[in-house]
Structure 1
Amino acid sequence: MAAAVPYRSLVVLMFQVLTFLVSGEWNTKDFQRREHSLVKPYQGSGLGVPQWDFLGSTIVTNNYIRLTPDRQSQMGAIWNTVPCYVRNWELHVQFKVHGSGKTLFGDGFAIWYTRDRMKSGPVFGSIDNFVGLAIFLDTYSNHNGPHNHNHPYISAMVNNGSLGYDHDTDGTHTQLAGCEAQFRNKDYDTYVAIRYEGTTLTVSTDIDNKSGWKECFSVTGIKLPVGYYFGVSAATGELADNHDVISIKMYDLDTDEARSNDSPLYTGLPEALSAEAPRDRVDDSKGSYLLGNLTGWKLLVIIILLVIGVGVCAMVGIIIFQKQQENSRKRFY
């Protein structure tokens, strides 16, 4: 009986430690929801990936999921099959955008939280006039709109289905906020974090290999309903890049405020109370609208033809000038 006391104490101690560890995990702000996450190894028991569907040119490898290859006119997407009913969440996407282009590349990719899924379209591979939230990681600018930022550029848009995304202005007339982010062709891992807590949307990046988040922007007055789907899509046009997804991790923010919030879950249409009113598209008065569709190799051909034309005009001018000089000398003698 004397030996039973230490054994019983040890059991109690182990139980207390286990309880502490479990409760500590649940009370942190980073409880991962695996039904909305995607990590290696990707494949399940069959050919598919559990709880994720694929669209378009998407291929699955051992180390990454490639939405588009570095080829023209490609579109790919990956969509979660499980609707999200978490009130406050944070999504971490590890990605890599890379390609052979040095000065011209595109188009980019988008991270979605939307009502509709698995529908291809013109907005980075997904549908326009969507319902939900989109985070655009745009790598190409055609400089056809009133904006003064460089690319790559990250921006956010909340839509109730009534707004369209205008590629010619990089969506600046409907965006909530944005920031420049040089995430392309990095030799190390790059990440973006999307945090939705209360009515605040915050987007942060880790693209400097510093193992820490840097805030891109934060916007308040955002209302997102539950029951929507997470997805990532990408597209290439006349210009191209590899758009790779390495991992997607979704976290349930189990904060004190979240636990004390007993109000019903929001199920209405998405709203952005603090967003600027949509403005009309304004074309460049200097005539850039004439070149709006001349991108990539077409624009290069135009420049080459202009250079050749100037050279021909110069040569003709020189020949005419020499003829005039010869005629002048003949009249003099």
Structure 2
Amino acid sequence: MFRLLTLCSVSALAASAASEKPRVDRFQLMDHSFNSPLNFDNTLDLWTLTQAAVPAQKHIILSPQVAERTGHFWHKQPLTTANWELNVEFEVKGPQLTKSDGFALWFSEEPFDPRDQTKETWNLYGYKRNFKGTGIFFSTFDSYKRLNPQVSMAQNNGVSAYPSNLSSTGTSFDWRNRGTMIFRMATGPNGMIGQIKAANDVRWTEVFHVKERVKGDVFVGFSAYTGPEAGSPGKKADAVMIKGLSVFNLDMRKAGEANSQTDTEDVKKARELLEHATKNHAEQIEQVRQLTTLLSHHVEQLAPREREQLAQLAKLSQRVRDLSGRVSTLSKEVSGHMQASNGGKGSAMLEQMKFEMDGMRAHFNHHNENHKQTVQRIASSLKTKSGSAGAAAEGQVRALKQHAAIMERTIRRQHSYSQMLFLLVLVIVASFAVFMWRRVHQLEKKHLF
């Protein structure tokens, strides 16, 4: 039952009494709502604060923690709608044993006039007992004068004094010294409902649900009385702080407040748009159902393709990672080979070796030519001397010829040996270059294919 009332309170209580059934939504009444930080623009210009009530940065101090104090906080303009929802955040803290009466939330059919205050008649939570309208009482004591916080609702015609001829109902709920509390209520043709909870709780507690309703054109206000000094421990009392107030209009045909920035014509247009949007409600539901079915089939068809694409993407990602690893390994191996070739200077060394070998070859060729010319000169000299010398020197000449022939053969052998050595070195260098080229080529094929 509680959940049903919670879910349906706004829609059930906001139906209009007119014959035509209106479209119901809600919009916030900004002039009657406020949040911290408070300033003259968003709060103080539209509200009346008297006696002990003072504004703070984050809340309104309705009454201080001092005994024998009264505070009032009233809006200057009335609510012009009878279908509304209200949420108020408050906190009450004080000594464990207190004499404070509590505070009240008023929906008065009369504007607040502080000049009418008298101590004898204005003693109902700081307001007059013959109020006209509706009052929500946050009482510290029950009807037996026991310390038992509760929330109740009462209505009066402005003639009788409380508690005569009043219908009231309520329930016990401890709202003292529990941090921030939230009270909400909604009113409409079907009556009123009020609920309360701690700000950090989830579950709401229903404190009243009646058929009576709050009339239109009422003034919203708060009042509090901290109790007499006699009997108050240390002359201390309960401090009441109003931290925030949100009021919502549930009747889209009315602006809801006199100074509302929402034009009535705009409200009417918004209502027409809502009615047009929901005219063919059944047709829209069928279209949504068909669209949902179409999307479901589409998802079923695309799901296998998406899974296949994801698998291919995973394979490609793995190949990319493998290729990255191979490239890294190739870089390390090439770097190692370059370091083995004296820090990457192998090609320069090969060129230097080739240059030195060419120089040695030219030196050997030049040296051999000199030896050949020397031998030829000796041979010519011997021939000349052999023609003019006698028989005694002929033997010496032959010996010199033999010795020259031996020297010439030796020179030729050395020349051939130097040629072969040069060719061998060239072959070794060429083989090493071919080996290095093939090694690098194999590494490239290994890592790329």
Would you call these one fold, judging by a TM-score over 0.5?
Answer: yes
Q: 1:50 aligns with which of 40, 45, 48?
A: 45
Name the residue aligned to 2:225: 235
Name the residue aligned to 2:244: 247
Change (3 A) 1:125 1:203: same
Residue 129 (str. 1) matches residue 130 (str. 2)? yes
| SS in structure 2 at match of 1:154 | strand
Name the residue aligned to 1:114: 108
Deviates more, 1:149-158 or 1:236-245: 149-158
1:210-258 per-position Cα deviation (integer Å, ceiling 9, x unaligned):
24533212001x24332110001111112421011001111112489xx
Name the residue aligned to 1:7: none
Q: 2:201 aligns with which of 210, 215, 220?
A: 210
Change (3 A) 1:181 1:30: farther
* Equivalent-residue separation in structure 2 for 1:30 and 1:217 (angstroms): 22
Relative to the length of structure 2, the TM-score reads: 0.45
Letter in 2 for 1:70: Q
| SS in structure 1 at match of 2:31 | helix
Letter in 2 for 1:130: F
Which runs of structure 1 show a deviation greater than 4 angstroms over 4 or more consecutive aligned residues?
27-30
Q: 1:174 aligns with which of 143, 152, 166?
A: 166
Letter in 2 for 1:162: V
Name the residue aligned to 2:87: 92
The answer for unaligned runs of 5 or more in structure 2 is 1-22, 254-266, 269-449
CA shift, 1:28, in A, is: 7.3
Name the residue aligned to 2:34: 38
Residue 192 (str. 1) matches residue 183 (str. 2)? yes
Relative to the length of structure 1, the TM-score reads: 0.60
| SS in structure 2 at match of 1:185 | coil
| SS in structure 2 at match of 1:151 | strand
CA shift, 1:163, in A, is: 2.5
Change (3 A) 1:29 1:106: farther
Letter in 1 for 2:37: P
| Contact preservation (8 Å) 1:155, 1:175 | no
* Equivalent-residue separation in structure 1 for 2:190 and 2:113 (angstroms): 27
CA shift, 1:64, in A, is: 1.3
- Name the structure, 1 or 2, with higher relative contact order (CA <8 Å, separation 6+): 1
Change (3 A) 1:130 1:186: same
Counting aligned pairs with the same residue, the percent is 25
1:5-60 per-position Cα deviation (integer Å, ceiling 9, x unaligned):
xxxxxxxxxxxxxxxxxxxxxx87442101111221211259x7121111110111
CA shift, 1:141, in A, is: 4.3
Name the residue aligned to 1:162: 159
Letter in 1 for 2:151: I
| Contact preservation (8 Å) 1:95, 1:244 | yes
| Contact preservation (8 Å) 1:92, 1:194 | yes
CA shift, 1:143, in A, is: 2.5
Letter in 2 for 1:126: Y
| Contact preservation (8 Å) 1:155, 1:178 | yes
Q: Which has the higher helix share?
A: 2
Name the residue aligned to 2:68: 73
The RMSD of aligned alpha carbons is: 2.7
The answer for unaligned runs of 5 or more in structure 1 is 1-26, 261-333
Letter in 1 for 2:137: F
Name the residue aligned to 1:330: none
* Equivalent-residue separation in structure 1 for 2:32 and 2:86 (angstroms): 9
Deviates more, 1:109-118 or 1:37-46: 37-46
* Equivalent-residue separation in structure 1 for 2:242 and 2:197 (angstroms): 15
